[in-house]
A and B are shown apart, each in its own frame.
Chain A
Amino acid sequence: MTAAGSLAPPESGTGRPPSVVAVFVRLKLAVLRNGLRQSRGRTIGWSLGVAMSLAYALAMGSGMVALRGNQYAPVAAVTVALVLGLGWAVMPLFFFGGDDTLDPTRLTMLPLRPRPLITALLTSSLIGVGPLFTVLVSTGAVVAVAHSASAVVVAAAAVALLLVTCVALSRAVAAANTRLLTSRRGRDLALLSGLVVAVGAQLLNLGANALSSDRGLHKLTSLTGVLRWIPPAPAIDAVRSASRGAYGLVGLQLVYGVVVLALVLLWWHRSLVRLMVAPDASTIQAAPAKSAAAERKASAQGRAGQTRGLTAVLPRRLVAGRTAPVMERQFRYLWRDPRSRATLATALAVGLLLPLVAVVQHGSIYQCLWAGGLLGVQMYNQFGMDSSAFWTVVATVATRQDAARELRGRALTLGVIAVPYTVVVTTGAALLLGRSAALPETLGLSLAFLGALIGTGAYASVRFPYAVPQDNPFANAAPGQGGLVALNVLGGTLSSAALSLPVLVLTIALHVTGHHALLWTVLPAGALYGLAVAALGLRWTAPRLLDRLPEILAVVART
């Protein structure tokens, strides 16, 4: 191996050291294996994920094979190649934290030269589900356009070239962005990227739907001339060229693909060299001149932040004691903590989206219950979101009153957002649907449901807390606690729905008995009922919170 020479002088020790490539391949396999060994739930989850993605790859691959002979097969093959390349390029930006072997800074202290390192990293990157997925899908794509013996030969080369280019591109992007991705801001961004992925998946879905019609593919065909020259598509398009006998074009496209690969490798090489010789500047303190300016700006912000804002508007008795500081902290967290922000943004967005869908599809106005419901669920597992910082709560809550005020602060934070939001969304949907007559009852039901969720959520937070991992943006519970999450969400929704029954019964009774003129009473009844259930829930929970403080800490600090 070329790598061996640079590792260590061969005359030392007990013979030649193992090649770097073999070491890295074994490292990758060990990391995979150890990841699975952590817990049974994780193993099952991983296996399910792998099975699903492979099934998806097989479906896509065979879908491509089925296109064989179709006039749109070439453009479909080229598009698939482009989507694969794009996916590989953006993947490290979202999943960087998940794979330690992607982080070259972990290797800087080892006596490795960049060139053998690249060979070893590239080889070990070819192991995994992603590469297998890529091979399956791209094989389907080349089969769809290979119509001759020579095309089959080109196809084999094309799949290999596509795979190596994709993997190298992914690694190069990761290496170029390592500094960003390992910093705190980078990790915050990754947390928010969950939203981007969710929205992006929806957009892709829409795009795929649009393209699956003949007209969509026809439109795309007119773009083929451009698309097939965007890397890594040329490799795949070379197969079609071979099928047509245009061997000059085949050569050109393959050489073009190899040149692109070489450029990607060069970029990667340069990033690696820079990473491995330049010190990490993240812990170096900012220059004094800059920090003085930042200081002035920050102190201005600090003063602005000190105006007690919302808590000054609320009645003094309501926000007495620790309630006001707790609320202020909760609001700051909703803005500054990427996980809290992403959760809230998702709840707000989906809570708006579902009533909108109702409007578009002329569905039921009761879809508006989602708006309050999704926000109300945020009351669940309040302390899990604190993680081990919950100890400050433990250290400062000494009386039942403290506990009640702590809970009230958290409930008020949510209520201050959820109540106006529910009112606005429900009113808007009712007006757009032309069902303003149904507004009072819907709103009354919504508020009752919201109140029930806040009341039961407070209790569940105390009785059934679970740890929220702080490092993994996509897991919402530490391993082994999936059951608790389900219990929280399902049990919470069901019990809150049951608690809202009186208001629902009132609504139905008024409808059935024909007292439509009295339906407006559901609004005040629901609002008062929701308020009462929430207040009772908090009151009932407060002494239990005081009793269970150390137990909750023991659970939520387990991350």
Chain B
Amino acid sequence: MERSQEGARGETARLEPYHGRPAAPDGAADADGPPPAVRVRGLWKRFGEQVAVAGIHLELPSGRFVGLVGPNGAGKTTTLSMITGLLRPDDGAVQIVGRDVWADPVAVKSRIGVLPEGLRLFERLTGRELLVYTGRLRGLPVAEVDRRTGQLLNVLDLSGSQHKLVVDYSTGMRKKIGLAAALLHNPEVLFLDEPFEGVDPVSAQVIRGVLERYTATGGTVVFSSHVMELVESLCDWVAVMAGGRIVAHGPLAEVRGAAPSLQDAFLSLVGADRRGGQDLDWLGGGPR
């Protein structure tokens, strides 16, 4: 019932801008346990004629390493943007640790860390300046910002480049400095959009180490990727998106099911053909 209503609302043209839902609809159910890290209800987003996110429902437990996987154009970035408050949904509700992102931004923005994909940083700052600036925007005391900045730069192997402008950083260094900026205020939930995209193996290992340490101490990581092997080795909880919908979500083993690997499970979930390229009979050995 509730779902069909939301669906109907998502289909029709919006009359007034979306400002979230102050009252938690399932608030009573939270009484017997801690709220999930992320709860999404009937989330819709369309760009013109194209539906990017078609009314997804999602619940992600806290303290886990959650992978959001899906092919290009599945709506992963759009979903993460709406969950983190960077993009206004057409309809639906998003709660992070029990607070509505769009109705209660004060509570949410200080509890989440974000590393978006495809958005710049203030790149004319040096790595250290960027972290100090971000920390002070977050309202942290100056001395604490300096301390955390120094440690993060060390751990992420960026100390040698801390006085270089971020615009001159490599892709891996950018991801690392972005991760540092997202971690600086010690968020409860960390959202990372393609954190390993274009990152060399050494930097990837460093990022991995930091994230594993973060989840081990109770933090929740939600990251999107289309590298299945990586998701399989890192995550204990997976949500699979395709065509703007969640096609499966749950513990890794459950989503993988009987399939030999997550890659196989994923391909059959999104309905892709395992084989490919049969028509390219001229490719390979033989006449050039």
Which residues in A have some Cβ–Cβ distance to B below 8 Å? Answer: 12, 184, 283, 291, 295, 298-299, 301-302, 305-306, 321-322, 324-326, 328-329, 332-333, 336-337, 386-389, 391-399, 547, 549-551, 553-554, 557
Contacts and interface: CB of A to CB of B under 8 A. Distances in A.
B109 A550 contact: no
Nearest to A335: B124
Q: Which 10 A-B pairs have the closest CB atoms?
A: A298-B163, A325-B136, A388-B119, A336-B124, A398-B109, A398-B106, A396-B137, A389-B120, A550-B88, A391-B119
Given A302-B162, A395-B114, A322 B137 contact: yes
Nearest to B122: A389
Given A302-B126, A329-B125, A389-B122, 14 more contacts: A12-B288, A283-B170, A298-B126, A302-B162, A306-B132, A322-B136, A322-B139, A329-B122, A332-B125, A336-B124, A392-B121, A395-B85, A395-B114, A398-B105
13 contacts: A12-B288, A184-B167, A302-B128, A322-B137, A325-B137, A329-B122, A392-B122, A392-B181, A395-B109, A398-B108, A398-B110, A551-B88, A557-B119
B164 interface: yes
B137 to A, nearest CB: 4
A553 B85 CA distance: 11
Contact of B137 (A333, A392, A399, A551): A392
Interface of B: 17, 84-88, 105-106, 108-110, 114, 116, 118-126, 128-129, 132-134, 136-139, 160, 162-165, 167-168, 170, 181, 287-288
Contacts of B109: 395-398
Given A395-B114, A550-B87, A298 B124 contact: no
A395 B136 CA distance: 13
B84 A395 contact: yes
A208 to B, nearest CB: 38
Given A184-B168, A392-B137, A398-B105, A305 B129 contact: yes
A393 B119 CA distance: 12
Given A298-B163, A301-B163, A394 B85 contact: yes
A395 B86 contact: yes
A291 to B, nearest CB: 7
Contacts of B116: 391
B133 A328 contact: yes
Nearest to B102: A550
Given A321-B139, A398-B106, A389 B119 contact: yes
B57 to A, nearest CB: 22
B106 A392 contact: no
A557 B118 CA distance: 9
Contacts of B128: 302
A497 B17 CA distance: 33
A54 to B, nearest CB: 39
Contacts of A550: 85-88
A44 B250 CA distance: 54
Contacts, number: 91
Chain A binding surface SS class: helix
A491 B167 CA distance: 35
Nearest to A397: B109
B41 to A, nearest CB: 19
Contacts of A398: 105-106, 108-110
Nearest to B288: A12
Instruction: Pick from A298, A393, A394, A554 the residue with the most CB of B within 10 Å.
Output: A394
A324 B86 contact: no
A378 to B, nearest CB: 17
Nearest to B135: A325
Contact of B124 (A306, A328, A337, A549): A337
A397 B167 CA distance: 24
Instruction: Pick from B132, B163, B165 the residue with the most CB of A within 10 Å.
Output: B163
Nearest to A406: B137
Nearest to A285: B170
A306 B110 CA distance: 25
Contacts of B120: 387-389
Contact of A394 (B86, B125, B133): B86
B44 to A, nearest CB: 15
A399 B104 CA distance: 10
Nearest to A13: B288
Contacts of A549: 85
Contacts of A387: 120
Contacts of A298: 126, 163-164
Nearest to B108: A398
Contact of A295 (B86, B160, B287): B160
B129 A332 contact: yes
Nearest to A298: B163
B144 to A, nearest CB: 14
Nearest to A339: B124
Given A325-B133, A329-B133, A553-B86, A302 B163 contact: yes
Nearest to B136: A325
Contacts of B108: 398
B136 A324 contact: yes
A549 B101 CA distance: 13
Contacts of B118: 388
A328 B145 CA distance: 16
A553 B81 CA distance: 11
A184 B136 CA distance: 28
A286 to B, nearest CB: 10
A465 to B, nearest CB: 15
Nearest to A328: B133
A291 B126 CA distance: 15
A199 to B, nearest CB: 24
Contacts of A302: 126, 128-129, 162-163
Instruction: Pick from B125, B162, B168 the residue with the most CB of A within 10 Å.
Output: B125
A7 to B, nearest CB: 14
A512 B225 CA distance: 73
A407 to B, nearest CB: 14
A514 B164 CA distance: 62
Contacts of B85: 394-395, 549-550
B125 to A, nearest CB: 6
Contacts of B137: 322, 325-326, 392-393, 396
B96 to A, nearest CB: 13
Nearest to B88: A550
A326 B136 CA distance: 9
Nearest to B47: A554
Contacts of B129: 302, 305, 332
A299 B85 CA distance: 36
Nearest to A305: B129
B149 to A, nearest CB: 11
A547 B88 CA distance: 11
A392 B116 CA distance: 10
A325 B129 CA distance: 10
A467 to B, nearest CB: 12
Contacts of B160: 291, 295
Contacts of B123: 389
A554 B85 CA distance: 12
Contacts of B119: 388-389, 391, 557
A301 B84 CA distance: 36
A305 B128 CA distance: 11
A31 to B, nearest CB: 25
A328 B128 CA distance: 14
